[in-house]
């Protein structure tokens, strides 16, 4: 099992880690680029997933920032906000707060308890939120 370092309520994965089983973090989780999870990822706080990382199954968290060029093969379920950065691929998103999708994102259905904001061109399934904003091309 790779090392996870705790500093206060935040947890940090080591660079170049991969996690074979399910991972549960009781706080915020900051993950460096190219970190891979082959199971579920359950984060009590905010997940910051570094660029080019992947999760094989589902992600559960309070809030999430998904780095560019990430692949999440299962759904993201968040109580708060979800931001998905450029050219990431996400199965589906179910968020209690707002969802921001950056250019080049590929995502299935998105449900938001607040606004869905799209920056640039994306590929998606159904987008359901209280409001929709599309910015740029």
Percent pLDDT > 70 in the chain is: 98
Name the DSSP class of 2: -
Element (H, E) at 13: strand 10-13
Supply the pTM of this predicted model. 0.96
| Residue 124 bridge partners (DSSP) | 107
Report pLDDT digits (tens) over 33-75. 999 999 999 999 999 999 999 999 999 999 999 999 999 999 9
Give the pLDDT band of residue 1 (cuts 50, 70, 90): low
* pLDDT at residue 126 in the model: 97
User: Domain locations in the chain?
Assistant: 4-135
């Amino acid at each position: 099992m790779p090392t996870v370092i705790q500093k206060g309520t935040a947890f940090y994965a080591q660079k170049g880690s991969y996690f074979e089983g399910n991972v549960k973090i009781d706080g915020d989780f900051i993950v460096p680029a190219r970190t891979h999870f082959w199971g579920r990822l359950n984060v009590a706080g905010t997940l910051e997933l570094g660029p080019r990382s992947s999760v094989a199954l589902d992600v559960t968290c309070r809030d999430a920032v998904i780095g560019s060029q990430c692949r999440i093969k299962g759904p993201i379920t968040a109580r708060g906000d979800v931001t998905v950065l450029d050219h990431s691929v996400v199965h589906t998103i179910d968020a209690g707060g707002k969802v921001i999708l950056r250019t080049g994102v590929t995502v299935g259905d998105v449900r938001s308890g607040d606004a869905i904001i799209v920056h640039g061109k994306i590929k998606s399934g159904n987008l359901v939120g209280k409001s929709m904003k599309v910015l740029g091309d």
